[in-house]
Amino acid sequence: MKNSFKSVIFAVTLGSFLISANIVNANDRDSAKSEVMLVKGAEVNFANFMSKKAKKFVKTEDWVIFVNVVKLYNTSPAKFMALSSTQKAAFNEAANNIETKVAKLRGEEAKAWRNKVVATKKILNVLWNYQSNVGPADQENVVSPVVAEMLGR
């Protein structure tokens, strides 16, 4: 009885390790498809992909601009939001050039990366446009409606 119980425990433990190892491997293979945009380490995987598929392109100024803005978004959102309009325009031009380059590459992985580049560009532009539409509020001169009623204004 003890041996069969130990065998069952061993089989269950071994099975769970094998299943978890397969899940990790599947996640690594599907890294190009797992996220919507280039954030949280996906930009590193994209850089590795581009280094293998487009060695000359990763040495261009467009690549440097694109990667720097995406890294800035991931590491320091406040600095990312403070980029000048010139830097934003340079990023958009670089993103368009990268999208064109990735579109020329073959394979499903290239298509997935192209979609991520497009999504990243769109989302970052939405953030910049939202910031410019909202603008900073002058907090000192803002009077709450409740306070105005209490003061009799």
Domain count, the chain: 2
Query: Does 144 reside within a domain?
Result: no
Query: Does 141 reside within a domain?
Result: no
Residues 51 and 103 in one domain: yes
Residues 92 and 22 in one domain: no
pLDDT of residue 45: 86
pLDDT of residue 28: 47
- Please give the torsion angle defined by the CA atoms of residues 81, 83, 87 and 91, in that order, rounded to the nearest 10 degrees: -20
Angle between helices 61-75 and 108-134 (to 10 degrees): 60
pLDDT tens column, 109-139 = 999 999 999 999 998 999 888 876 665 555 4
The DSSP element (H or E) to which 71 belongs, if any, is helix 61-75
Residues 23 and 66 in one domain: no
Residues 18 and 43 in one domain: no
Q: Could you list the residue range(s) of the whole structural domain that residue 3 is in? A: 1-33
Contact (CB, 8 A) for 101 and 54:
yes
Residues 129 and 80 in one domain: yes
How many CA atoms are closer than 13 Å to the CA of 21, on its beta-carbon side?
Answer: 6
Contact (CB, 8 A) for 116 and 35:
yes
Residues 41 and 115 in one domain: yes
**Residue 84: helix, strand or coil by DSSP?**
coil
Taking residue 89's Cβ as centre, other Cβ atoms within 10 Å add up to: 11
Q: What DSSP line would sit under 32-70, residue for residue?
A: HHH-SSS-TTHHHHHHHHHHHH-TTGGGSHHHHHHHHHH
Q: Which region among 2-6, 77-81, 111-115, 143-147 has the lowest average model confidence (pLDDT)?
A: 143-147
Residues 21 and 49 in one domain: no
